[in-house]
């Protein structure tokens, strides 16, 4: 098979891949920057100009002095934050759908050497509830033999395609501050959340009380780069060493830094996120026209959680579409994810295909005599 | 400044940068592969065809069935190996110059959750001595309250620009096997060692008794990719989980895998290493003509350890050359590192410059009457 | 104050101390054995005859070959078990009232070096539900990025003064075995549970499927001794080292071992437990006669959970009684704990006092016109 | 066998047991205090009056305000100190014979969750050398990728039966302070050292610059009690939690505290230590009269390190004497340990026995024609 033909076939199937925002490749701007960065003088382990320049670049982006540490993955970013915030040891309160709690193989415990525990806080729509947080923390503080509360972690946006309003963030921060907890934000999809909120990056984070941020990029156009951003710079003291021993001080760090630089340059991160959000909105609006389809919560960022009748599900799979499943099989819930490179025509094709199979499908109890 | 002009200036200084093999960029073949990999269907977290294909690719390279796990850095590779080999806990015996002991901020302890200790074994030329290993391990085994020995780690090539002969590796393995120790090889510069030894990758590793290998690539042409290779595949059982919680299961893993694939394709890794080794040889041969220069050990791989008289040192620095220092300042020892992209003319220019400054320089005691 | 008078006063208050089974001193038989053990030849670190003899002593007690490791505290016992069972790392499913989850400051995480997570399983009366266990474990097994399930831990008896029936234990074991989980029993109050069940120690433990047991003694007559008992002796391999580094290999181990020996000799442990259980029963029966008193669950072992009207509560406190509070203050729930040395007359006095104050007290809504 | 006879036989062999200071039982004063403490009102987990009273008791002993935390073993004391001092992580510099380095199964790594590394510093007579300490720490500080130095740990007295002079301690402290290192003292045999130095406990510790002390008691008359004493009380902040999760917050803590109270009451600890030291001196003086005996270093505290000719060695073993061996078998070096309860007549009997066997024994090369 010739390379050209192979690329073309891949193209065909790529447009049916709504499995994850990680299946997309790198944004052209980022890839170009990476290629361009391959020449020129440099230094190992982040002593290069690109990495050093990130400090000012992110300071400008967030309108305040920050310390930025590029790392390879969101799990590393979250784990490092958990280790720092739990020291000498203690609990990190998270939403029950938080990635750091259920999707990182116990990364918080690992990165902290057994010092951190993640405690899920109930809430609706993938968010933790400020009042439930207050209740759980107060209970723990009253038990001298329990793990002491140290921090709260807010996933912005959530694993349920929702976004905390700034008022919601501030309510959580208020509960945290009153109990001397640090505030972490897991911003694996921060771009999508900021695009949704229409606020500034500063308003979404430190102005609302966030101390440390896991700043995501890989889901929105980078290849393999994330960062930890310290608004509370005193917390950064041990970071340099922790990152190195954890294997995230890359010897050729500039190849991560250049991704981050290109990611935030010219608002690329927000443009990409706005597009992904809009494509998810388009998916939702299209599916909403099919009576037998049941949404599972809002669609505020770049993916749709939806329960599909069996015929539609089977039909889409047969046509080569790819999604990830959520919850128990009996619920027939899937996650349809859009990315910065999802095309309108691919969404429209998905909707049209779903509608084709919807004829046979009626919600339970609806196929009346 | 125009981009062209900027690139040109960088070029100028790049050719004087002998600081580390990490200052070089990516090999063109690897960068091209990365760019090409940016399109096409894929899956997240290493379920993609490129990553899955690595198993067979490395199996073929090493002439045996292996399990390969790409990770981002050598520190992660070594830390994961230390964690696995020390379980439930115990000591990893290393050479006293081993990277895992002195250059990874306690990565072995970190990755193992406090279960691993690295114990330096004396030896010459950056290598650990099999007889000293036997002595230290036997002493520890006789002390029931000491950390139990679990593994030995061989850096191939070493931090002293040397290479263990296959007989030396086998002697260490024999000591290890007799005491039920696992054998790890830190192959951050495995390519340079194999190129030097002229043996097959299989002979250099599992055929000599190596159980697990940290397979380096970043120092020799990759951007940000290393791998752990299990010859003893039973040891790999916990790896999948350990790598994920440690933040080295990249969501877009294919961007690491494609680097490794291109790295070993068409013997690129060995061609690059042969070139780097040859350039270091050229540096050494050139410097050897200067009477006041004193070498610090052999030059078997891609760098030269050398003590320079002050005038040469000062002159090179003044001319914009960059090296790293080794040992105490009074020893005036530097490390001159060559890489896959070091050019003959740059080496020759370096030598010529050194010679120019050598006129004023005589070894201590030599400037006689 | 003369010593005699001081002792007498202490006696007075001791009989009003129902705070915890840890406020009682040592059983006379155990103290006598300790004193007697202070002479004679010995060896350090558990190489003494008393410690070595424990293996056979516990083997006989449990009617099977076991390995017994004395340790100082229940937290150490549970932590060591969690570390061993979670290796290389994973989750320990526990009841939501389990001591190891909420009362040991994250001991499981600590002892395992960040490898263990405790996951609370819902249930009634302080017990975990086998079906909820199955549901949660199956969910986790379906999520490749979650902490892998490794073990279930059963507290026998529970923190709610209840006891798992043997059928309940077997149901949990069945769920565990089908999913390849180890089974741990936290037997801090095993004596009370066995006394309640009327079964043999063997039936309560390994015959029901228990792999490892935290064997409690301090709450029931010992001074400072607990033990880990391995029915599955393969799991004991790393214990010797783990205990030492954790600081629970006492240099004068015989002083712990002699406590355990005396504790199980002549059924002392069961006699003590039966008495404590009976005294708790007597407390309950006495309080049951007061209409305004509301019990919080059953009283199957040696303590009573009960909500007291404010006048009774206040009166008892005023009279010098000591209890621990449970739950939110508004619930007015206390735990009244009896021990091996609680005297009938002290219980009767408690009841009489409560009744005296009960006159003023009626349940809410009951003081009708 | 009747109990009386059994006790008598044990008595016989006890007097030949010079294996370790841990083979002795409890001092009568401590045992009596323990027995007396078994009645009276109390509270669990160290909230009892005895434990609370220890703060003032040790404050008075050390002539300054301190925080005291009883724990069960010296390994726990050292491990907790290592964890606190290394935070967030780093290296603890120790003498190469330090217990925490070679005899606690990696306790420092364990207690710190992988954050601490112990680094042996060369020196003579079991002591670390201040100048070597300075050299090693300065080297590490110059390597940004090495484990950062955090603390130095001084074993007072040492494993070589020596004692640091106060000037030696101050010299080490000076090196440490200049490099911002904490100073820990492992005082497993502090009593013997203070008795030897003839200084006050304050002079031996905080007045010389010690921040934290592992205060030993078990080797000198206690059953199972040690303590961590904080002179630098800010370092104690996390101790309460760390001790609990590590399983050294005993539920019946008063049984440890009463041992410590009795241990320091009326100078018992120093009287015991003076006696043990004197008995070791008596052993040494006696053996010195045998020409073929070779001492291995000084005898400044309670044990003698000595190389015995084979006939003496064999003879003593044949007579039922018990020692521990040190170093390689070929060196025939043993450690003869005296304790608070070693009797003069037992020492004299040992010497006489040795002399009896010495007739056949001449030093190598001495049996000339």
Residues A241-256 have pLDDT tens digits of 999 999 999 999 999 9
Strand-pairing partners, residue B229, are B68, B213
pLDDT digit string, tens, across residues D221-275: 999 999 999 999 999 999 999 999 999 999 999 999 999 999 999 999 999 999 9
Nearest by Cα to D76 from B144, C79, C115: C79
Cβ atoms D201, D56 nearer than 8 A = no
CA distance B96 to D136: 14
pTM value is: 0.93
CA distance A135 to A141: 10
Are A89 and D148 in contact (CB < 8 Å)? no
> What count of CB pairs under 8 Å joins A to C?
64
CA distance D190 to D169: 13
Residue showing tokens 């299946």: A23
Mutation to test the D interface, candidates C252, C262, C303, C335, most D Cβ within 10 Å: C252
Whether residue D157 is preceded by a cis peptide bond, meaning omega within 30 degrees of 0, is yes
Are C242 and B148 in contact (CB < 8 Å)? no
Nearest by Cα to A56 from A264, A286, A270, A361: A264
CA distance B115 to B150: 11
Q: Which among B17, B218, B223 has the least Cβ separation from residue A41?
A: B17
Are C114 and A117 in contact (CB < 8 Å)? no
- Residues in chain D within 8 Å Cβ distance of A245: 89
pLDDT digit string, tens, across residues D320-363: 999 998 877 778 899 999 999 999 999 999 999 999 998 765 55
Distance from D16 to chain C by nearest Cα, in Å?
9
Mutation to test the C interface, candidates A114, A139, A188, most C Cβ within 10 Å: A114
Give the whole-number percent of chain C exceeding pLDDT 70. Answer: 93
Are C145 and A102 in contact (CB < 8 Å)? yes
Q: What is the mean pLDDT of residues C241-251?
A: 96
Direct distance between the N- and C-terminal alpha carbons of chain A, in angstroms, rounded to an integer: 54
Are D88 and A242 in contact (CB < 8 Å)? yes
- Residues in chain D within 8 Å Cβ distance of A82: none
- Residues in chain C within 8 Å Cβ distance of A145: 102-105
Are B40 and A71 in contact (CB < 8 Å)? no
CA distance D189 to D179: 27
Q: SS3 for D100?
A: helix
Alpha-helical runs (H) found in B198-266? 201-204, 239-245, 254-264
Residue A135: pLDDT over 60: yes
Residue B11: pLDDT over 60: no
Q: Average pLDDT over chain B, rounded to whole? A: 92
- Residues in chain B within 8 Å Cβ distance of C145: 244
Strand-pairing partners, residue C154, are C185
Task: Find the range with the poorest average confidence among A163-177, B4-18, B74-88, B330-344.
Answer: B4-18
State the burial class of residue D178 (Cβ atoms within 10 Å of its Cβ: 0-12, 13-18, 19+).
exposed
Nearest by Cα to B245 from D111, D25, A75, D281: A75
Distance from A107 to chain C by nearest Cα, in Å?
9
Among the ranges A5-14, A160-169, D102-111, which has the highest mean pLDDT value? Answer: A160-169
Give the whole-number percent of chain C exceeding pLDDT 90. Answer: 85
Strands A226-230 and A67-71 come out as antiparallel
Q: With the CA atoms of C56, C59, C63 and C64 taken in that order, what torsion angle do they form, in degrees rounded to the nearest 10?
A: -120
The length of chain A is 369
- Hey, what are D119's tokens? 């680094």
Which chains does A contact via 3+ CB–CB distances below 8 A? B, C, D
Distance from A339 to chain B by nearest Cα, in Å?
13
Residue A366 confidence (pLDDT)? 46
- Residues in chain B within 8 Å Cβ distance of D148: 105
pLDDT digit string, tens, across residues B242-300: 999 999 999 999 999 999 999 999 999 999 999 999 999 999 999 999 999 999 999 99
Distance from B93 to chain D by nearest Cα, in Å?
14
Residue C365 confidence (pLDDT)? 43
Q: What is the mean pLDDT of residues A267-278?
A: 98
pLDDT digit string, tens, across residues B93-130: 999 989 999 999 999 999 999 999 999 999 999 999 99
CA distance B51 to C221: 60
> What count of CB pairs under 8 Å joins C to D?
189
Residue C242 parent element (H or E): helix C239-245
Are C73 and D249 in contact (CB < 8 Å)? yes
pLDDT digit string, tens, across residues B90-100: 999 999 989 99
Are D249 and C218 in contact (CB < 8 Å)? no
- Residues in chain A within 8 Å Cβ distance of B17: 41-42
pLDDT band at A54 (very low <50, low <70, confident <90, very high): very high
Residue C364: pLDDT over 50: no
Nearest CA in chain A to B13: A41
CA distance C13 to C20: 14
Q: Which among B114, B143, B148 has the least Cβ separation from residue D110?
A: B114
Q: Which among C109, C113, C145 has the least Cβ separation from residue A104?
A: C145
- Hey, what are D5's tokens? 């006879």
Which chains does C contact via 3+ CB–CB distances below 8 A? A, B, D
Residue A329 confidence (pLDDT)? 77
pLDDT band at B335 (very low <50, low <70, confident <90, very high): very high
> Phi, psi (5° rounding) for residue C52?
-65, -35
Nearest CA in chain D to A114: D113
Residue B222 confidence (pLDDT)? 97
Are D38 and C23 in contact (CB < 8 Å)? no
Are C143 and A115 in contact (CB < 8 Å)? no
Q: Which among C31, C106, C224 has the least Cβ separation from residue D224?
A: C224
Residue C360 confidence (pLDDT)? 65
Q: CB-side exposure of B277: number of CA atoms within 13 Å? A: 23
> What count of CB pairs under 8 Å joins B to D?
61
pLDDT digit string, tens, across residues D61-113: 999 999 999 999 999 999 999 999 999 999 999 999 999 999 999 999 999 99
Q: Which among B89, B148, B241 has the least Cβ separation from residue C89?
A: B241
Q: With the CA atoms of B116, B121, B127 and B132 taken in that order, what torsion angle do they form, in degrees rounded to the nearest 10?
A: -130
- Residues in chain D within 8 Å Cβ distance of B112: 114
Are C17 and D41 in contact (CB < 8 Å)? yes
CA distance B14 to B17: 5
Nearest CA in chain C to A147: C105
């Amino acid at each position: 098979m010739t390379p050209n033909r192979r690329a073309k076939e891949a193209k065909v199937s790529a447009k049916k891949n709504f499995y994850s925002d990680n299946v997309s490749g790198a944004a052209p701007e980022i890839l170009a920057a990476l290629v361009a960065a391959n020449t020129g003088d440099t230094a190992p382990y982040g002593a290069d100009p690109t990495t050093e320049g990130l400090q000012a670049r992110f300071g400008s982006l967030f309108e305040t002095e920050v310390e930025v540490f590029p790392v390879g993955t969101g799990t590393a970013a979250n784990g490092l934050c958990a280790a720092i915030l739990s020291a000498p040891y203690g609990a990190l309160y998270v939403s029950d759908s938080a990635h750091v709690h259920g999707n990182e193989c116990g990364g918080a415990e690992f990165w902290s050497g057994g010092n951190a525990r993640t405690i899920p806080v109930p809430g609706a729509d993938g968010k933790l509830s400020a009042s439930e947080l207050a209740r759980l923390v107060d209970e723990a503080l009253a038990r001298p033999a329990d793990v002491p509360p140290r921090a709260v972690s807010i996933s912005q946006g959530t694993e349920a395609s929702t976004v905390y309003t700034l008022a919601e963030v501030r309510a959580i921060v208020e509960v945290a501050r009153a109990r001397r907890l640090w505030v972490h934000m897991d911003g694996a999809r921060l771009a999508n959340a900021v695009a949704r909120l229409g606020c500034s990056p500063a308003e979404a984070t430190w102005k609302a009380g966030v101390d440390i941020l896991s700043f995501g990029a890989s889901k929105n156009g980078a290849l393999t780069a994330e960062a930890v951003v310290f608004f509370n710079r005193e917390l950064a003291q041990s970071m340099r060493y922790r990152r190195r021993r954890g294997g995230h001080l890359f010897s050729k760090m500039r190849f991560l830094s250049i991704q981050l630089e290109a990611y935030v340059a010219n608002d690329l991160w927000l443009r990409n996120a706005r597009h992904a959000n809009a494509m998810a909105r388009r998916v939702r609006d299209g599916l909403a026209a099919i009576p037998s389809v049941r949404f599972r919560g809002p669609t505020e960022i770049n993916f749709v959680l939806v329960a599909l009748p069996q015929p539609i599900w089977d039909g889409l799979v047969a046509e080569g579409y790819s999604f990830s499943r959520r919850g128990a099989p009996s619920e027939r819930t899937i996650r349809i994810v859009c990315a910065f490179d999802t095309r309108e025509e691919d969404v429209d094709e998905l909707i049209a295909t779903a509608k084709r199979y919807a004829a046979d499908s009626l919600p339970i109890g609806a196929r009346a005599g």
